[in-house]
């Protein structure tokens, strides 16, 4: 398994490939204290010359306090044509380290992944989450490190990134762009033509239903390379908070 860094290559190789949520969904932890979240995610990737791959994910999260968000989720993987297969269970925790004291807010992201395929062991990822605002425009950059444990061969720590630009136009409709990438071992990056980088336009919105009840969505269309292969991806995330 290369959950973060070899995300795309594993997803392209077959139904036993690992699925990496943070390869397609931006981590933005700003807890709404006491709010529970039902979280649905879905991505579909079409590599050049190969059938599409897709992955639905369902999770339940809770904002423990104004600094800590935690979520348990289950992920499925589908080779097209074919049926969905349960791939992994994950436990994500995001903790705010600063909240407005500095120009850029900082959080720590961690995620533990228990794969259904025992040969791929347990994945652990962690790293800083950064956010700042310039007027009505929100800027994000995240840098994550990932390693697998309980596997036959020891694997080095991998490195990946996420970024986002979001302009707050209206509450129900904002627009911007997202980007994701994996570079290889943290201390020995892959050659440029073997790295994975993808980016594209994104839409966001929130429907406030009063109290702590709200619907949130974001979607993006990503173009770039997955493990040195050209690929086009569609991602979608819908959350209901209550």
Report the first-to-last Cα separation within the chain, whole angstroms.
35
CA distance 12 to 3: 13
Enclosing domain of residue 146: 7-241
pLDDT in tens, 184-200: 999 989 998 889 999 99
Q: Please, which pLDDT band fits residue 50 given cuts at 50, 70 and 90?
A: confident
The verdict on residue 2 lying in a domain is no
Tally of structural domains, the chain: 1
The verdict on residue 20 lying in a domain is yes
Determine the pLDDT at residue 148: 86
The verdict on residue 1 lying in a domain is no
Determine the pLDDT at residue 25: 94
The verdict on residue 220 lying in a domain is yes
Determine the pLDDT at residue 145: 97
The verdict on residue 49 lying in a domain is yes
Q: Is 80 exceeded by the pLDDT of residue 228? A: no
Q: pTM for this one?
A: 0.86
Quick one: average pLDDT of 31-54?
90
Question: What CATH number should be reported for the domain holding residue 194?
Answer: 2.40.160.40
């Amino acid at each position: 398994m290369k959950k973060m860094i070899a995300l795309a290559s594993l997803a392209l190789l077959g139904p036993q490939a690992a699925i990496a949520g943070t390869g397609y969904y931006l981590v933005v932890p700003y807890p709404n204290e006491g709010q529970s979240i039902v979280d649905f995610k879905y991505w579909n990737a079409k590599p050049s010359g190969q059938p599409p791959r897709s992955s639905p994910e369902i999770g339940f999260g809770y904002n423990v306090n104004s600094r800590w968000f935690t979520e348990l989720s289950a992920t499925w993987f589908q080779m097209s044509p074919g049926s969905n297969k349960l791939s992994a269970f994950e436990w994500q925790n995001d903790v705010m380290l600063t909240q407005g004291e500095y120009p850029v807010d900082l959080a720590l992201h961690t995620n533990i992944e228990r794969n259904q395929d025992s040969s791929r062991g347990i994945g652990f990822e962690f790293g800083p989450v950064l956010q700042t605002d310039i007027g009505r425009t929100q800027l994000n950059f995240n840098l994550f490190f990932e390693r697998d444990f309980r596997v036959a061969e020891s694997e080095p720590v991998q490195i990946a990134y996420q970024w986002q630009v979001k302009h707050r136009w209206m509450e129900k409709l904002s627009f911007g762009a997202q980007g994701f990438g994996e570079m290889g071992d943290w201390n020995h990056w892959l050659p440029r033509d073997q790295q994975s980088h993808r980016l594209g336009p994104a839409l966001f919105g929130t429907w406030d239903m009063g109290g702590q009840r709200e619907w949130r969505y974001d979607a993006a269309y990503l173009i770039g390379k997955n493990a040195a292969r050209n690929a086009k991806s569609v991602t979608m995330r819908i959350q209901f908070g209550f």
